[in-house]
């Protein structure tokens, strides 16, 4: 059985995907207490009751994008970073799950760094497909973010007892396929996990969802099931992705899957438009679509409670 088939069997039906999907805000704040990462709420929510380690996820800033869906993607990234700066409790660090830039241009990378650095947080990146379309694919990204990474930019690190793994599933894509990690990266991952005890909480982040959200639009990873296989023995696994510019989440056994929203523009829900291209909403609605939503995942609960909360209005 191929990874695909397996994904299909275990994956959500389209209806289910739509059921547990909703808009959320510009960033998701995560906390780790007692080994289980818990989504606390979208940026902008007070953090008063938080204990343990918190970190932040932003995604799909698409710096350089200037089309009708959002003529100023750099501006909305800045608004998101301002939200981060305004947090009462400072997160330990931030992850960016790719598509930092729109066209992998030097200026786009520079502009993104200038804005994101204003958060004053250590930021760990993985590339999106938009970050590796320079003349020498991936050269600009790697020069900035890949110095300590392997291959196309994958790496791991430990913080407060949690093992974080950044994977790259946007390089060397094959005709007709989905996202792809490739055998070298999978071998590295198996080796990376070897010495870890099953009680170590694991957080995996990559650009394209590691599970199949919607195959027709390429929203999945061909060899994602092999990653999940390697993570099977761990008691707490959280998979964080971007790429689809909307929140989709599911809990399956010990694994929590979550995709973050973009800071740049929304994309349609699976199958609700002719293509997954940028979704234009009325100008005065953009920030309500990018607006914040509270995401709350209580330990022991299998569902995340989501309450829409527009950024403006």
Interface residues with other proteins (CB under 8 A) are 67-69, 102-104, 129-130, 133, 135, 173-178, 216-218, 274-278
CB atoms within 10 A of CB 219: 23
Smaller CB separation from other proteins, 103 or 281: 103
Q: How far is the CB of 172 from other proteins (least distance, A)?
A: 9
| Strand-pair partners of 154 | 150
Pairing of strands 28-33, 53-58: antiparallel
Q: How far is the CB of 199 from other proteins (least distance, A)?
A: 38
Q: How far is the CB of 30 from other proteins (least distance, A)?
A: 29
Smaller CB separation from other proteins, 85 or 107: 107
Q: How far is the CB of 36 from other proteins (least distance, A)?
A: 35
Query: Could you give the CA distance from residue 181 to residue 179 in angstroms, rounded to a whole number?
Result: 7
| Strand-pair partners of 255 | 237, 252
Smaller CB separation from other proteins, 102 or 250: 102
Query: Could you give the CA distance from residue 169 to residue 157 in angstroms, rounded to a whole number?
Result: 18
* DSSP class per residue in 112-173: HHHHHGGG-S-EEE---GGGG-SSSTTHHHHHHH-TT-BTTTBEEEEETTEEEEE---BSS-
Smaller CB separation from other proteins, 68 or 161: 68
Q: How far is the CB of 303 from other proteins (least distance, A)?
A: 30
Query: Could you give the CA distance from residue 240 to residue 129 in angstroms, rounded to a whole number?
Result: 16
Residue carrying the six token digits 């291959």: 151
Q: How far is the CB of 177 from other proteins (least distance, A)?
A: 5
Q: Which two tokens stand for residue 89?
A: 């409790």
Smaller CB separation from other proteins, 20 or 279: 279
Smaller CB separation from other proteins, 156 or 169: 169
Query: Could you give the CA distance from residue 220 to residue 229 in angstroms, rounded to a whole number?
Result: 16
Smaller CB separation from other proteins, 23 or 219: 219
End-to-end, the C-alpha distance of the chain in Å comes to: 50
Q: Which residues contact 246 (CB under 8 A, 6 or more apart)?
A: 21, 23, 259, 261, 266, 267, 269
Residue carrying the six token digits 């209005």: 313
Residue 274 in contact with residue 260, Cβ under 8 Å? no
Residue 278 in contact with residue 69, Cβ under 8 Å? yes
Smaller CB separation from other proteins, 93 or 217: 217
Q: How far is the CB of 130 from other proteins (least distance, A)?
A: 7
Q: How far is the CB of 63 from other proteins (least distance, A)?
A: 14
């Amino acid at each position: 059985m191929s990874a695909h088939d397996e994904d299909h069997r275990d994956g959500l039906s389209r209806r289910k995907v739509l059921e547990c999907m909703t808009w959320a805000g510009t960033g998701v704040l995560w906390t780790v207490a007692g080994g289980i990462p818990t989504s606390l709420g979208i940026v902008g929510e007070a953090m008063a009751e938080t204990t343990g380690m918190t970190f932040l996820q932003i995604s799909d800033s698409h710096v350089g994008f200037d089309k009708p869906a959002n003529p100023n993607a750099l501006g909305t990234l800045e608004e998101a970073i301002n939200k981060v700066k305004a947090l009462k409790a400072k997160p330990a660090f931030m992850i960016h799950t790719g598509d930092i830039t729109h066209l992998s241009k030097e200026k786009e990378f520079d502009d993104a760094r200038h804005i994101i650095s204003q958060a004053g947080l250590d930021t760990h990146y993985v590339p999106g497909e938009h970050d590796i379309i320079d003349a020498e694919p991936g050269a600009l990204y790697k020069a900035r973010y890949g110095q300590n990474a392997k291959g196309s930019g994958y790496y791991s690190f430990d913080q407060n007892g949690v093992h974080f793994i950044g994977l790259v599933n946007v390089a060397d894509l094959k005709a007709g396929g989905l996202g792809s990690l490739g055998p070298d990266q999978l071998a590295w991952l198996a080796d990376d996990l070897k010495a870890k005890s099953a009680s170590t909480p694991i957080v995996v982040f990559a650009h394209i969802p590691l599970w199949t959200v919607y195959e027709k639009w390429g929203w999945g990873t061909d060899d994602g099931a092999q990653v999940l296989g390697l993570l099977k023995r761990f008691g707490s696994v959280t998979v964080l992705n971007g790429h689809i510019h909307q929140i989709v989440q599911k809990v399956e056994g010990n694994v929590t899957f979550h995709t973050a929203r973009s800071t740049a523009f929304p994309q349609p829900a699976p199958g609700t438009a002719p293509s997954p291209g940028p979704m234009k909403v009325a100008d005065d609605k953009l920030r309500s679509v990018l607006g914040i939503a509270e995401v709350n995942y209580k330990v022991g609960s299998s569902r995340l409670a989501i309450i829409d909360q527009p950024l403006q209005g």
